[in-house]
Each structure stands twice: as structure tokens, then as C-alpha cells.
Amino acid sequence: MKPKTTNSNLDKIAIRNILSIRYNPMEKPLIKPARWQDFANEIQDRKGIQIQKLLEKSIMSNLSDKKSIAISLSGGIDSTLCLGLIRHVFPDKKIIGVCGVFAGGFDESIVAKKIADKFNADFHIVHMESIFTNMPEIISITKKPKWNTYIHLIAKHSRKFTNAFVTGDGSDELFGGYTFRYRKFLNLLGDNDNWKIRTINYLECHNRDWVPDQERMFGPSIKFNWDNIYNYFKPYFQNSLSPLKQVMLADFNGKLLHDFIPMGRAIASHYGIQSFPVFLDPEIISSALKLPMEQKYDQKTQKGKLVLREIATRLGIKHIDEKRGFSPSLFTDWKEHGREICKKYLMDERSEIYQKKLININWVRRAFHTVEDDGDIRYLNRLISILALEIWFRVAIIKDMKSTSRL
């Protein structure tokens, strides 16, 4: 018999939050949150001289005793700069670059291979599997109803060579990498916007995390109100910072603290490796938060990470200019795997998410047609998140599905 799970012992607020902003802000973060005051006392480092010294100091103190180092290597500036700095600090150490490639997705491996060759690093390509068919394994790593942990395959492959794994986590939030978000936010900004309007505009810049009829998605056991969500962001937008610094404060204390960092820690723990996010050294965080906005983002050219670009230029590092990263082609995966899997689990009224009255099956049926007929990526994202919730129930709660199961 399956163990009974009642609504009384479910964290429905966490479920509501994860399905609305992708993380639960009520969880205690693993590193110290930023305060708005941390952005206020500015320091100057236009050429990135001090930041480079801090990065090299952190690399030396954390990796000097490692015989070999693996790095999650895309063609973007974060991982290429990490590789260049590590090779600069350790001219003879063995380094392994690992690049993930999704079927139908943007392939950064050609550029990444050139970068690995330039810095005398071994290079491996991991062909990333379907996020749908392997969802039980993905869920089992973080033990949360989340599906965006496919990066674990990079760590899994790296573990074959070393237990030291380097990532570029935190670079976007600290040094101004979300240029598409900054531009959209500024376009929405009004002269007299209060904190709530700015929060609404900020969430509009993350609109793949929710849908216009979000309140209809939930079942009767979850009471959804947008004001509850907005209040999480009040401290970030009710202060004297400039609008873009408010955005960076929200980025740092939001997905970075409550999604990317715990996800990285969970993956490292799962595979028994030591994860080293180069940019998240406390001294680097403190200095980066104090950099003026104009040393991070140029509104005219739409370039971000200006200080890191200065360091990369000094080291002779060439990288892909456009932000990409390891990202699946969701519609390719949907057509090849996801459509039938979602039909099986989300069109069944007996599924746990409907038995517990967490999700509205009529909304799911309409969303399914919206994806099929209109190709709406926002509704596809929600369907994948709802599937993750159902699989989480089966793997982590009632345990009638093994983590090794393939859907």
C-alpha cells in the first residue's frame, strides 16, 4: 500500500512559490543575503584590477591542493574567464573542460573546444538527455519539485576525472549579466513607480516563470494571490537604490540564493564532489556589489559584465558575446518525448496533484492545447513544472517511483 500523504503535511506555500517564481523565498539561504546598503558605498575598479586579484587569490586558496580540476565550460565569458584565470594561476595543473550539448539546442562546444585548446585543458562533450524521460533522476538529486537541474550531468561526467568542480555561478547577478532583463525593466519604468509597480515590472522580466492566468492553475487547496508574491520583493524595490541596482538586489537574493546555489550544492553532494563557484567568494561578492552600475552595464551598447570583459581582454580570452549557457530546446524535447509523457501523467485525474487538489486539471487541459496550437513557451514551462510536481510526489513523498525510472 502507498503511504498516505495529507494536505496538512504538505508545504503548500513552497509549492505555490516554486510554481510562480521558480524558488521558495521562505527557505533559509546557504550564503548571506545582500542588503540594499551593500550596493550604496561604491568603489571604483573600471579595469577590474582589484576584482582580478581577488579572483586569483580565491582560486589559489581553494584549488592549490587539487591535482586536477574540472570546469563546466560553455563558450560564454563566465566559464571561459574562470578557465583562463585558473590556467594563469596554475600553469601546469591538469584541467578538464566539460561542455553540455542538447539535441536541437544551441551548440557552444565548437567555441568551448577552441578555448580549452588555448588554455591547454582536456575537453569533453556531454550529450544531454531529455529532461522529461530523466525527470525522476533530476528530482531525486534536489528532492524538490524542480526540473532545471539538468546541469547535474556535467558534474556527473566531471566526477570521472576529479572531485574538484568549478562553475561560474553568481557572475550574472554580481557583474551585470542579465542585459535583456535590464533593458526590458528600464523600458517599463515610470518616473513615479512605487515598489509594487516595480515588482510587477520585474516579474514581467521573468514571465516564463508564470502565466497570465496563474491563479486558475492551482486547485482549491492552494490559495493564490499575487499580493503574497509581490510582498517577497518589497525590500528590494522600496529603498533609495537606483532602479537597476534594485533589480540586481532582487536577482542576487532571489534565484541565485534560493535556486542556483542550493541546486549546485545538492548536485555536488549527490556526486560526492567539491563544487567551487569562483565568483561567490565572500570578498568578491562584497567588492562586486559595490561596483558602480556603469562598470557593469552599458545601456547604449547593451553590453554587460564590463569589468569581467576588461579582465578577459588582458588575458587574451575570446568568448561568445551573446548569453547562452547550457539550455535545452524545450519544444524539440516536447515533440520527441514530453508530449506523450505529459499526456500520461497530467491527463490522468488519478494523479497525485489532482487528488491533493493542488492543480486544476481543467487548466492543464487548456494549457496543453495552448502549447500544441500556439507554441506558447510560457505554458510549456508551466506544464513541465507541474509534471515535476507530480513526479516529485511519486519519487520523494509516496515513493512508488524509483529515481532510476525512465518516463
CATH classification of the domain holding 290: 3.40.50.620
Asked if residue 264 is part of any domain, the answer here is yes
Query: In the 8-state DSSP scheme, what is residue 34?
Result: P
Using one digit for the tens of pLDDT, what is the confidence trace for 320-329? 666 555 566 8
Asked if residue 132 is part of any domain, the answer here is yes
Asked if residue 393 is part of any domain, the answer here is no
Whether residue 227 is predicted with pLDDT greater than 90 in this model: the reply is yes
pLDDT class of 282 with cuts at 50, 70, 90: very high
Asked if residue 135 is part of any domain, the answer here is yes
pLDDT class of 318 with cuts at 50, 70, 90: confident
Q: Who contacts 246 (Cβ-Cβ below 8 Å, separation ≥6)? A: 36, 198, 236, 237, 239
Task: With residue 99 as reference, give the H or E element that holds it.
Answer: strand 94-102
First-to-final CA distance of the chain: 22
Query: How much is the average pLDDT of 280-302?
Result: 96
Phi-psi region of 171 (alpha: psi -120 to 50; beta: other; left: phi over 0): alpha
pLDDT class of 49 with cuts at 50, 70, 90: very high
Asked if residue 146 is part of any domain, the answer here is yes
- For residue 104, the model assigns a pLDDT of 67
pLDDT class of 3 with cuts at 50, 70, 90: very low
Whether residue 107 is predicted with pLDDT greater than 90 in this model: the reply is no
Other Cβ atoms within 10 Å of 274 Cβ, number: 13
- For residue 328, the model assigns a pLDDT of 67
- For residue 149, the model assigns a pLDDT of 76
Q: Is the pTM of this model over 0.75?
A: yes
Domain that holds residue 260: 38-176+251-314
User: Distance between CA atoms of 206 and 328, rounded to whole angstroms?
Assistant: 18
Asked if residue 232 is part of any domain, the answer here is no
Q: How many domains is the chain partitioned into structurally?
A: 1
Contact predicate 39/241, CB 8 Å: yes
- For residue 403, the model assigns a pLDDT of 92
Q: Who contacts 278 (Cβ-Cβ below 8 Å, separation ≥6)? A: 55, 58, 59, 82, 85, 166, 167, 168
Q: Could you tell me which of 150, 168, 178 has the C-alpha nearest to residue 330? A: 150
Instruction: Output the average pLDDT for the chain.
Output: 92
- For residue 23, the model assigns a pLDDT of 96
Whether residue 199 is predicted with pLDDT greater than 60 in this model: the reply is yes
Contact predicate 262/42, CB 8 Å: no
pLDDT class of 103 with cuts at 50, 70, 90: confident
Asked if residue 145 is part of any domain, the answer here is yes
- For residue 135, the model assigns a pLDDT of 92
For the packed helices 179-188 and 243-251, what is the interaxial angle rounded to 10 degrees? Answer: 130
Whether residue 55 is predicted with pLDDT greater than 90 in this model: the reply is yes
Whether residue 91 is predicted with pLDDT greater than 90 in this model: the reply is yes
Q: What are phi and psi of 377, to 5 degrees?
A: -65, -30
Query: How much is the average pLDDT of 99-119?
Result: 85
For the chain, give the percent of residues with pLDDT over 90.
Answer: 84
Asked if residue 181 is part of any domain, the answer here is no
Using one digit for the tens of pLDDT, what is the confidence trace for 355-374? 999 999 999 999 999 999 99
- For residue 244, the model assigns a pLDDT of 97
